[in-house]
A and B are shown apart, each in its own frame.
Chain A
Amino acid sequence: MLDTLVAGLLRGNVYALGAVGISLVFGVMNVVNFAQFSFFGLGAMLAWFFVAQEGLPFWLALPLVLVVCAGLGLLVNVAVVRPLARFLPLAAMLSTYAVSQILDNASQLAFTAQFRVFPKVLPTSNLHVGSMRFGTSDLVMLGVTATVMLGMSAFLRYGKVGQAIRATAQDQEAALQVGIPVGLVQHLSFVIASALGGLAGVFVSLYVGVANPTSGLTTGMTAFVAAALGGLGSLVGAVVGGFVLGIVEAFGISLAGDTARQIIVFAVLVVVLVVRPGGLLGKVPLIATEPLTGTFLGKGRPLRVPRWVWPAAFVLGGIVVPFVADDYVLTTGTQVLVYAVIAAGFTVTAGQAGVVALGQAGPIAIGAYTSALLTLHLHVSFWVALPVAGLVAAVIASILSSPVWGVKGHYVSIATLGVGTAIVAVIQLVLPQGIYGIPVPTWAGTPLSTPRAYYLVDAGVLALTLLVTWRLRASHLGKVISSVGSDEVAALASGVRVRDYKALAFAVSAFFAGIGGSLLAHQYTYIDPTIFTMLMSLLVVTIVIMGGVSLPYGAVVGSLVLIGAMELLRFTPELRIIAYGLVLILVVRFRPGGILVRTA
């Protein structure tokens, strides 16, 4: 009992540090900062480098790590985040994801990807409570966190600059009007957050014992959840959220095993958000519209697409490419098409209903497993299993997500991320073994297993998807869904049941996600839970944002750019991901509303 509590406290300590940084940046800039995750890994590797390689004493290395992280944080904000955050938080969020890719891979180039044993700077098991051993190292970490938190809260309460940070967080425009240099305040917050991220990274590796450049991701994700749990923008909330999560995790694992960790984390999150839509200590968002997309419409300049482009694109993609391109281009094409199907369906939720759901890997996995199990065990034809996979994904994902539609603001994104992740975690619990030998589609007895056949099947499904989403947009139902995304308050005032329409939009998206999952399963002929990751969910969101959030055909362009770029950049293997990140940032910089945009 007591030992589990101690384990939870130590764990929560790290989450709290990370969560404070995320909450701080969110408060003053309204941007969810994925780059923060990278500072965990970076802080750990820098500390390892200074102590183990350069032989510096730990107490000298620690401030150095903080200075480097703070400097990088400033650079990231000046160069990337702030120019975008001024007009589009969604674009800024996408660019922070790109920055995190660049930082992780730069760190990998500098330090290699090997796991490094972190030097033992302080005794780690010289004390004990009950049977739980811990060390001076853990006490120092708790002490440092407490000091930092107390210092931060005194600074925010009594310091002039701290007050400026709080004012900016409360109301940016009002802060500007009373003469607060909001730009400087934002830079400063970014610097503090990045340094805290670095510190948390050092602590994670002190606690865990080993580190590598990507080791911050899991901790970062949990810290992000902790920040949401406590209430984004609330620093006390972040600390509370961190400790609550650490302790809940420890007890959950002790009762149900490590595999249940993610399910526990996200179940707690969803329950808290449903009961307290603003997090434990945060304010309930006043603006009913999703802030990520609410200001989105009309910001970008639409590219005028002449009418002849549509038949031309259809002929090119559906007829010319399959009969001219080689198998490599066709295989890459199948991935582009499948993700285009998933993303085009997702525009109904993200674009029309205005909810940036982050957990699409969940319904994709449901579709893939449904289709695989139906064809393997019940010997159902692929052509029957495909729509059934979509339906099952829509039904299950809708039921599981039904509590979250009352949640507002960014929280709904985080809640859907929770549902999606939990779905995959449940699949891993129930069916941990991979599924082998999933039958390939056949047509009149001929197996459709060549790249060209897959391409044509996928292209056909995509054409149907675009047709359905286009008809949906034009229908009365589609207009109602769009009204929810454009102005939720007005929609409510007009008697539209906002929650129900969001749920319906999500069901439509989940249907197409399930279809996409089925297509992937029958092409790979093998699936296991490691395929349906958070990165897959992020890719779907990125594609939609890239293409223009409310345009189904924009998703095709987004998919082509994002999956195509990964392949086109193969000429520079080591720098591929860094180049990919730069391409993302450039596109976002010049087309912050997406490549194709629709005006309101």
Chain B
Amino acid sequence: MTTITRRALLAGVAALGSAALLAGCGLNDSAAASTPGSGTVYFGVSAAITGQYAQYGEQFKEGFDLALDQVNAKGGIDGHPVALKYEDSQSDPKQSVSVAQKFVGDKDVVLVFGDYSSAASIPASPIYTAGKLLQYGFNNSNPSFTTKGSQYQWSTSITTSATYQWTADYIKKQGVSSVGVTYLDTADWGIPAFAAFKAEADKVGLTITDAEGVLDSSDDYRPSLTKAVAGKPDAFVHIGYGPDAAKLVSQLRSIGYQGTFYGGQDEQSFDGTPDAEGSVVGAQFLASNPDPAVQAFVTAFKARYPNEKTVTGFEAGAYDALNVAVAAARLGGATREGILQGFQQLKDVPSVVYGSITFDPATRRVASPQLTPTVLRGGTWVALHG
């Protein structure tokens, strides 16, 4: 290629680039200025659509979209249709702050769901607070999301500490006296969860023979597991998520440990693992729950997503979250101030996770959430009674 054509190309690329830049800014302004007259109510979603955490973004979207269809089929919010604006943050704080500012600047957006991880959600919180835009971290189980946040941070996720206090109590009640533990060595989730578990275990007299911090990005847990079961504990507890629990439980069985496996959240990549048979978790959401509302949701979900073999707490949580947001908008009005008032006053919103949701206005979390002990039998989760 000659120098001249290269220069021309380069100039072209540069011109295109700057045109795109200008067009980008232009579009933003016009979008913010000209509110569509249809009266559509917009919620924002700040989530990972690409990158390392994309699978959770996909699960959330399925739950949201299903709830959205149902809400709009019933006339939306007082006749106004509801729509979502998705922005990909890759759960990266560098992008989640820009996304937050974009939503704050978009006057149509009256509430934002997300983000997924604490590292992306908490840096965005001051921006949402300054913009008086409610940040609904429906998935943020880190207690600090709400305790260190302002009146604009709300969550329907059970806090990690509550979950693992419950777990320690439950295991003790099963007549188990000692456990080996692995926990995710992450700042925002695994470490506080393990601390809560340990405190409760000490209180109720459940012995922890050994606890090993592990990383979800690791593939090989055999060295950690060998060590964790060296003290021959009665049962095994993993404080973590589905994908890591799947790897752990297979490897735990492959090193010959046969005690009950407690833990890992009820996630589909976990229950497809044959080695997970007989594992016990405290579930927020249980697809086999005979409750008619849950069954209606599961049926609708499977009809809409025939390729999905299971429905998990991630989709159910997103489904609930959209319904909570809609209920708040109906109660307080579909404006930023109205939504906030709605959240403060909401009572007994039907929920496929909790049965019904009422917020504790002091913690901005669900008041007294309950878990259901469930066991994996023949590849599906069923409730354990007693």
Contacts and interface: CB of A to CB of B under 8 A. Distances in A.
Interface of A: 3-4, 7, 10-11, 105, 108, 112-117, 120, 124-125, 128, 131-135, 204, 207-210, 212, 214-215, 217-219, 249-251, 253-254, 257-259, 261, 301, 325-332, 334-335, 428, 432-434, 436-437, 440, 449-451, 520, 523-526, 528-531, 535, 561, 563-564, 566-568, 570, 573-574, 576-577, 586-587, 590-591
Given A108-B50, A530-B186, A590-B6, A210 B255 contact: no
A505 B6 CA distance: 35
Contacts of B217: 217-218
Contacts of A250: 220, 222-223
Interface string B98-137: 1011101100000000000111001101110010000000
B44 interface: no
B247 A210 contact: yes
B366 interface: no
Nearest to A329: B25
A590 B273 CA distance: 49
A436 B49 contact: no
B369 interface: no
Contacts of B21: 564, 568
A219 B105 contact: no
Nearest to B50: A577
In terms of DSSP, what is the predominant structure of the interface of chain B?
helix
Contacts of A434: 118-119, 122, 144, 187-188
B269 A116 contact: yes
B360 interface: no
Interface stretch (B86-94, B168-176, B295-303, B333-341): B86-94
Contacts of B247: 208-210
Contact of A212 (B49, B55, B274): B55
B212 to A, nearest CB: 6
B185 A258 contact: yes
Given A113-B55, A436-B148, A566-B95, A451 B101 contact: yes
A328 B226 contact: no
Interface string B31-63: 010000000000000000111101101100000
B219 interface: yes
Nearest to B24: A568
A108 B54 contact: yes
Interface in B274-316: 274
B143 to A, nearest CB: 11
Nearest to B241: A115
A4 B17 CA distance: 55
A128 B127 CA distance: 56
Interface string B187-209: 11001100000000000000000
13 contacts: A113-B58, A131-B226, A208-B247, A250-B220, A329-B25, A332-B101, A432-B187, A433-B192, A529-B187, A530-B119, A573-B49, A574-B49, A590-B10
A542 to B, nearest CB: 13
Most A C-beta atoms less than 10 A away, residue of B118, B268, B269: B269
Interface residues of B, number: 81
Contact of B122 (A113, A115, A212, A436): A436
A161 B102 CA distance: 56
B162 interface: no
Contact of B123 (A219, A257, A525): A525
Contacts of A577: 50-51
Interface of B: 3, 6, 9-10, 13, 17, 20-21, 24-25, 28-29, 32, 49-52, 54-55, 57-58, 86-88, 92-95, 97-98, 100-102, 104-105, 117-119, 122-123, 125-127, 130, 144, 148, 185-188, 191-192, 212-215, 217-224, 226-227, 242-243, 246-247, 250-251, 253-256, 268-269, 272-274
A570 B87 contact: yes
A335 B94 contact: yes
Contact of A331 (B88, B98, B251, B274): B98
B185 A330 contact: no
Contact of A114 (B3, B87, B119, B268): B268
Contacts of B100: 331
A586 B16 CA distance: 13
Contact of A261 (B49, B215, B253): B215
B223 A530 contact: no
Contacts of A587: 13
B85 to A, nearest CB: 10
Contacts of A258: 185, 212-215, 218, 221, 223-224
B28 A328 contact: yes
A257 B58 contact: no
Nearest to B6: A590
Contacts of A523: 97, 123
B223 A528 contact: no
A163 B39 CA distance: 72
Nearest to B122: A526
B88 A327 contact: no
Given A253-B223, A576-B50, A326 B215 contact: no
Nearest to B227: A254
Contacts of B255: 3, 131-133
A450 B130 contact: yes
Contacts of A116: 269
The 4 residue pairs across chains A and B that have the minimum distance between CB atoms: A524-B123, A113-B54, A331-B101, A115-B269
A531 B93 contact: yes
Most A C-beta atoms less than 10 A away, residue of B10, B213, B214, B219: B219
Contact of B269 (A134, A210, A586): A210
B86 A573 contact: yes
A528 B54 CA distance: 20
A48 to B, nearest CB: 12
Nearest to B274: A120
Contacts of A591: 10
Contacts of A334: 97
Contact of B224 (A253, A432, A437, A563): A253
Given A258-B224, A331-B101, A331-B127, A531 B256 contact: no
B98 A257 contact: no
A87 B72 CA distance: 58
B55 A115 contact: yes
Contacts of B97: 331, 334-335, 523-524
B98 A332 contact: yes
B47 to A, nearest CB: 10
A214 B58 contact: no
A564 B97 CA distance: 14
Given A208-B220, A525-B123, A132 B215 contact: no
Contact of A218 (B49, B218, B243): B218
A145 to B, nearest CB: 16
A567 B122 contact: no
Given A7-B220, A326-B28, A432-B185, A113 B57 contact: yes
A245 B295 CA distance: 50
A524 B25 CA distance: 24
Given A113-B55, A204-B219, A259 B213 contact: yes
Contacts of A328: 28, 98, 101-102, 104-105
Most A C-beta atoms less than 10 A away, residue of B17, B220, B254: B220
Given A432-B186, A535-B92, 18 more contacts: A10-B220, A108-B54, A114-B268, A117-B272, A212-B243, A214-B51, A249-B223, A250-B222, A253-B224, A258-B212, A261-B215, A261-B218, A449-B130, A525-B123, A526-B119, A526-B123, A528-B188, A564-B21
Nearest to A108: B54
Nearest to B104: A327
Nearest to A580: B50
A82 B222 CA distance: 41
Contacts of A113: 54-55, 57-58
A325 B102 CA distance: 12
Contacts of A590: 6, 9-10, 13
Contacts of A325: 25
